[in-house]
Amino acid sequence: MSRLVAPLLGVVALAACGHGQVAAPPPRPLTTSTAATPEVQEGAASGQGPATDADTQAAIERGIAQGRSGDLDGARRTFRDIVNRNPNAGAAWVNLGVLAERTGDLKEAEASYRRAAQCTPAPPESWDFLARLLVRTKRASEAEALVRGAAQQQPTDLGARNALTWVLLETGRLPEAEAEAKKILKADEQNVRAMQLLAGGYYRQGKYELCRLVLENARAVDPKDPVTHNALGTALLKLKQRPAALESFKTAASLRSDFAEAHSNFGAMLVESGDYEGAVKELELAVSAAPELLPARMNLGNAYRGKLEMVKAREQYEKVVALDPTLADTYYNLAILHLDSDVPGMDTLDRYNKAIAYFNTYKEKGGSDERVEQYLKDANRAIDREQRRREREKKDQLRKAEKEAEEKRQAEAAARAPAEATPAGGDATKPTEATPSDTQTPPAPTSKKKSSRAKLKTP
């Protein structure tokens, strides 16, 4: 089990990024992105739009509960009823976009986010989620033009300005992103989203202590924001404060059941600590919320392997390969699984040869773990041992078969011996009858017949 998680501990630093929905491409481990996987928005449920009456508010909360419980169709119907009655219900439009994104309908998701952005006022999430969707579908220039235009038209709309800051971060323009975040904080010094984005810029520049300080300020403003806790965990990892990082990830995961990145990070650290049962629970939540979140699937495979559930582990690794065949680490883990553990239904020699093939693929994909050469030697030695064991077993079986054949031959010969010793037509057990002339002096019996009789008397 010593080879269980290497070399995957690096993926534990995955921060809250906006990727990983059902129809998303393989997510990039952008440790500085602070937009969490879209969820049914509770924050958007209040104060968005002038006509959010009590009935609308109650309906929005009902839709949120349905979505979080997994009843996506029911939630979709609820939010659709809301916008039919109140087209300016921005929160309902945002949540319709989230639900469409969850089910892979990116066109519908984009339309819903755009419609939410037209509401008065526009929910901040509408710009955020729309920008992320455009960037994720390789339309970063369109995203920037859209949110920059909205920010210029409505300078007081901090949602659009935060979305612009995020796009600047994603496109690598860190000084511009930092400047924009500071402008937002000058207008609203308690804007948690701007703090998260500013911290993201510091993280990308390697300024981890500054990143930590900004996130701790954000946490003080809103202790229940899971994105802050998750991002703080990534900064603490860089500062080598692992126990504190674990607590941050744990808090982030506890605050939102469908926050895939937080569950992925927390689960990965549990794998590292050997708590495979707890890790499976967290990582299953992660892949349920974001089926294409590769680090979560990879670490879920590791957790299953730690529990010796090899079939489930292999299934997760193979799903990662299907999602991204270029990821070298997946082949490493498949190789270790086949090298170290029995795989139900697979011949031992086939298993070792499969391990060698996976190690070779790992190297072909750019993997450079120096231990691989030793593992290849281990696999070849294991093949040699297994072949010699089979040869010994074959010889043992042959000797056993020869011995059994000889014993059978001897038994058959022994069974034939009495029959061959009895005269033809004679009866070894019947005494010789005397003729009338012999009644006085019968002839003496032969010794063989005497023996036969004696035997007959034996009780």
DSSP 288-311: HH-TT-HHHHHHHHHHHHHTT-HH
Separation in Å, CA 141 to CA 144, 147, 148, 205: 5, 10, 10, 23
Q: Does residue 195 fall inside a structural domain?
A: yes
Q: Does residue 14 fall inside a structural domain?
A: yes
Can you say how many angstroms the Cα of residue 338 is from the centroid of all Cα atoms in its chain? Answer: 17
**151 plus 272 within the same structural domain:** yes
Instruction: Return the pLDDT at 28.
Output: 24
Does the pLDDT of residue 155 top 70, yes or no? yes
> How confident is residue 442, by pLDDT bands cut at 50, 70 and 90?
low
Q: Does residue 255 fall inside a structural domain?
A: yes
Domain boundary among 414, 429, 449: 414
Q: Is the distance from CB of 199 to CB of 214 less than 8 angstroms?
A: yes
**250 plus 361 within the same structural domain:** no
Which of 270 and 420 is assigned the larger pLDDT?
270
Q: Is the distance from CB of 117 to CB of 44 less than 8 angstroms?
A: no
223 upstream amide cis, omega within 30 of 0 = no
> How confident is residue 19, by pLDDT bands cut at 50, 70 and 90?
very low
Q: CA 324, CA 17: separation in Å to the nearest integer?
A: 18
Q: Does residue 422 fall inside a structural domain?
A: no
DSSP 213-232: HHHHHHHHH-TT-HHHHHHH
Instruction: Return the pLDDT at 433.
Output: 52
Least confident of 193-197, 386-390, 450-454: 450-454
**Closest to 386 measured CA to CA, from 352, 434, 360:** 352
Instruction: Return the pLDDT at 289.
Output: 83
**234 plus 352 within the same structural domain:** no
CA end-to-end span of the chain: 68
Which residues have C-beta within 8 Å of that of residue 156, sequence separation ≥ 6? Answer: 187
3-state SS class at 52: coil
Residue indicated by tokens 């739009």? 49
Q: Does residue 141 fall inside a structural domain?
A: yes
Does the pLDDT of residue 73 top 80, yes or no? yes
**266 plus 404 within the same structural domain:** no
Q: Is the distance from CB of 280 to CB of 305 less than 8 angstroms?
A: no
Q: Does residue 277 fall inside a structural domain?
A: yes
CB neighbour class for 51 (10 Å; exposed up to 12, middle 13-18, buried from 19): exposed
Q: Does residue 448 fall inside a structural domain?
A: no
Q: Does residue 424 fall inside a structural domain?
A: no
Does the pLDDT of residue 158 top 50, yes or no? yes
Does the pLDDT of residue 270 top 70, yes or no? yes
User: Structural domain of residue 221, as residue ranges?
Assistant: 8-291
Which residues have C-beta within 8 Å of that of residue 284, sequence separation ≥ 6? Answer: 300
**224 plus 329 within the same structural domain:** no
Q: CA 232, CA 223: separation in Å to the nearest integer?
A: 12
**224 plus 347 within the same structural domain:** no
Q: Is the distance from CB of 282 to CB of 270 less than 8 angstroms?
A: yes
Residue indicated by tokens 């041992």? 385
* CA dihedral sign, ordered 200, 20, 37, 279: negative
Does the pLDDT of residue 10 top 80, yes or no? no
Core vs surface per residue 250-289: b (16+ CB within 10 A) or e: bbbbebbebbbbbbbbbbbbbbbeebbebbbbbbbbbbeb
**Closest to 184 measured CA to CA, from 138, 132, 146, 147:** 147
**70 plus 175 within the same structural domain:** yes
> How confident is residue 30, by pLDDT bands cut at 50, 70 and 90?
very low
Q: Give 365-384 pLDDT, tens digit per residue.
A: 999 999 999 999 999 999 99
**214 plus 89 within the same structural domain:** yes
DSSP 325-345: TT-HHHHHHHHHHHHHS--TT
**197 plus 116 within the same structural domain:** yes
**Candidate ranges 99-103, 211-215, 286-290, 423-427; pick with highest mean pLDDT:** 211-215
Number of domains in the chain: 2
Core vs surface per residue 64-93: b (16+ CB within 10 A) or e: bebbeeeebeebbebbeebbeebebbbbbb
Residue 361 CB: number of other CB atoms within 10 A?
Answer: 18
Least confident of 42-46, 107-111, 415-419: 42-46
**182 plus 269 within the same structural domain:** yes
Mean pLDDT of 24-52: 39
**273 plus 387 within the same structural domain:** no
Q: Give 91-126 pLDDT, tens digit per residue.
A: 999 999 999 988 889 999 999 999 999 998 889 899
CB neighbour class for 101 (10 Å; exposed up to 12, middle 13-18, buried from 19): buried
Separation in Å, CA 272 to CA 254, 441, 451: 19, 105, 84
Least confident of 33-42, 58-67, 260-269: 33-42
Instruction: Return the pLDDT at 364.
Output: 96
Which residues have C-beta within 8 Å of that of residue 208, sequence separation ≥ 6? Answer: 202, 235, 238, 239
**329 plus 262 within the same structural domain:** no
Instruction: Return the pLDDT at 126.
Output: 92
Tokens in use for 198? Answer: 């500013």
Residue 184 CA neighbour count, 13 Å, CB half:
27
Which CATH number goes with the domain that contains 23? Answer: 1.25.40.10
Q: CA 195, CA 111: separation in Å to the nearest integer?
A: 29
Tokens in use for 3? Answer: 């080879």
**Closest to 126 measured CA to CA, from 172, 82, 95:** 95
